[in-house]
Amino acid sequence: MLGGALGEAGQSLPELEETLKKAKQRNLAWYGPRMFRPSYFAGTDVLDVATKAFNLFASENWLYGRTSYPALGEFEDDVLDTLYDLFHAPAGAAGILTSGGTESLIEAVHIARDKAQATGKTGRLNIVIPNTAHPALDKATHLLAMDVRRAPPQETQEAELDWLARALDRNTVLLVGSAPPYPFGEVDPIDRLAQLAKAHGIRLHVDACLGGMILPFAEMLGRQPPLFDFRIDGVSSLSVDLHKFGYSAKGISALIFREADDATFTRTVFTDWPSGMYGTPSISGTRPGGALASAWAVMRYLGRDGFMERTRKIYEIRDEFIERLRALDASVIGRPDCYHFNFALAGLDNLLLAAELSKEGWIVSSTEKPAAVQLMITAAHEGVAQPFAKAVADIAMDIRKGKRTGGGESSVYSKVVVKQRLAKGNEARPTAST
């Protein structure tokens, strides 16, 4: 945006605010009636709480939460106690707060590896995961010099369980299930996976990064979602992202383990250093105090009743979408247990449908295998099911008549760009703002 150097004179705050607001307009609006990509909007009141708490603690380094900033240590204890309660963690359980789902998953794999090695396992260790498990697990095994065995797509849950059982061997240390997986909204059969893990004497991690702050409230509402937490014997650890349905500012997740002893494998303490003891509970050094304060404040603001109410609304909106889409003969993939779901129309290029919807301002995601349109439902979608279904019907008719063509686009979750240093004199890149 700026090209090369920092520039000598600084800019005034009003001038910068103007620039920042203009810059924000080049982004998609992160929530709104037509935004169906992942965003966790529970109302402007909740957003206000999350943002104010974040701002109040934006510059406190949570790394010093147990030395200089005891209030952050207390927030941390409160948040963990609340999570132990929500997931029915037994006495003796413990947990850590991390920067996000990825760090929580890396630490879940890290514990499994180091605990297995501590009990004498040697050689290259591996983890076994369902087809839909999050790629952060592949990243974890890559960093930890392990292998990952990801199931290929299977026709049925039964077939996938068979595949997973066959993939386990002497060097397997961890099995993973998701509640629910990101690509489709159906919770993995955690009870069956737990039996399998127990039979092989290995750990089971439940990735509830996405559903962890939705499913407990769905249960309280009487919706009977599948069990996924520590009530299932054999669940060793569970991850939940507070920056998703904890409605917090970005940068906070939790990893809860059944046995407090697991924390010894994520913790590092160094003392051989001129500045004395350096102890951290997980991978991060400096941590955002704002994210912790934000998560804490939203929990206190909503309380159990508030979370239940917001959850009820999301499911009601979701159900109306499903109903209206089924009335168009769309089929819903699997059994969505949570807030997101995927649908497909028979005999149609559904990736083209997704692309055309997005072109018309209905910002959706898609999945491949099976090709489907994915909707992530939030409070911003109240009253939108009817116009959305109409847009789907209109676009589908155009596609069937050959009025809209093209190949659709392959699904993208996120991508990487390497920003290289260019030769002197070529740095300035003209943009809309210059």
Instruction: Give the separation between CA 258 and CA 108, rounded to whole angstroms.
Output: 12
Amino acid at 170: R
Q: Which is nearer to ligand PLP, 57 or 182 (CB)?
A: 182
In whole angstroms, the minimum distance from the beta carbon of 148 to ligand PLP comes to: 14
Q: What residues pair up with 241 in beta bridges, in sequence order?
A: 253
Q: At what angle do helices 190-199 and 157-167 cross, to 10 degrees?
A: 20
**In degrees, to the nearest 5, what angle opens at C-alpha 372 toward C-alphas 137 and 136?**
10
Instruction: Give the separation between CA 25 and CA 359, rounded to whole angstroms.
Output: 17
Considering only residues 224-253, where is the footprint of ligand PLP by CB under 6 A?
Answer: 241, 253
Q: Which is nearer to ligand PLP, 126 or 132 (CB)?
A: 132
Considering only residues 193-212, where is the footprint of ligand PLP by CB under 6 A?
Answer: 207, 209-210
Structural contact between residues 366 and 372, judged by C-beta atoms closer than 8 angstroms: yes
Instruction: Give the separation between CA 343 and CA 367, rounded to whole angstroms.
Output: 10
Instruction: Give the separation between CA 314 and CA 245, rounded to whole angstroms.
Output: 11
The token duo for 132 is 């839909």
Site size toward ligand PLP, by CB under 6 A: 14
In whole angstroms, the minimum distance from the beta carbon of 5 to ligand PLP comes to: 33
32 CB-contact burial (10 Å; exposed 0-12 / middle 13-18 / buried 19+) = middle
In whole angstroms, the minimum distance from the beta carbon of 121 to ligand PLP comes to: 26
Considering only residues 253-292, where is the footprint of ligand PLP by CB under 6 A?
Answer: 253
Supply φ then ψ for residue 4, to 5 degrees. Answer: -10, -110
Q: Which is nearer to ligand PLP, 189 or 345 (CB)?
A: 189
What's CA 433's distance to the chain center, in Å?
A: 33
Considering only residues 111-170, where is the footprint of ligand PLP by CB under 6 A?
Answer: 134, 136
Instruction: Please identify, among the stretches 146-154, 176-184, 290-298, 309-317, the one whose residues bind ligand PLP according to the rule CB under 6 A.
Output: 176-184
What's CA 107's distance to the chain center, in Å?
A: 15
Instruction: Please identify, among the stretches 98-106, 159-167, 354-362, 368-376, the one whose residues bind ligand PLP according to the rule CB under 6 A.
Output: 98-106
Q: Which is nearer to ligand PLP, 256 or 396 (CB)?
A: 256
Structural contact between residues 235 and 363, judged by C-beta atoms closer than 8 angstroms: no
In whole angstroms, the minimum distance from the beta carbon of 406 to ligand PLP comes to: 29
Q: Which is nearer to ligand PLP, 22 or 369 (CB)?
A: 369
Identified binder of ligand PLP from the candidate list 35, 83, 97, 100, rule CB under 6 A? 100
Residue 419 makes CB contacts below 8 A (sequence gap 6+) with none
Instruction: Please identify, among the stretches 51-59, 159-167, 174-182, 402-410, the one whose residues bind ligand PLP according to the rule CB under 6 A.
Output: 174-182
Residue 98 binds ligand PLP, judged by CB under 6 A: no
In whole angstroms, the minimum distance from the beta carbon of 134 to ligand PLP comes to: 3
Instruction: Give the separation between CA 64 and CA 61, rounded to whole angstroms.
Output: 6
In whole angstroms, the minimum distance from the beta carbon of 207 to ligand PLP comes to: 5
Q: Which helix (H) or strand (E) holds 15?
A: helix 13-25
Instruction: Please identify, among the stretches 94-102, 165-173, 324-332, 418-426, the one whose residues bind ligand PLP according to the rule CB under 6 A.
Output: 94-102
What's CA 418's distance to the chain center, in Å?
A: 24
In whole angstroms, the minimum distance from the beta carbon of 100 to ligand PLP comes to: 3
In whole angstroms, the minimum distance from the beta carbon of 177 to ligand PLP comes to: 11
DSSP character at residue 130: -
Identified binder of ligand PLP from the candidate list 57, 62, 69, 182, rule CB under 6 A? 182
In whole angstroms, the minimum distance from the beta carbon of 24 to ligand PLP comes to: 21
Amino acid at 315: Y
Q: Which is nearer to ligand PLP, 144 or 391 (CB)?
A: 144
Interface residues with ligand PLP (CB under 6 A) are 100-102, 105, 134, 136, 178, 181-182, 207, 209-210, 241, 253
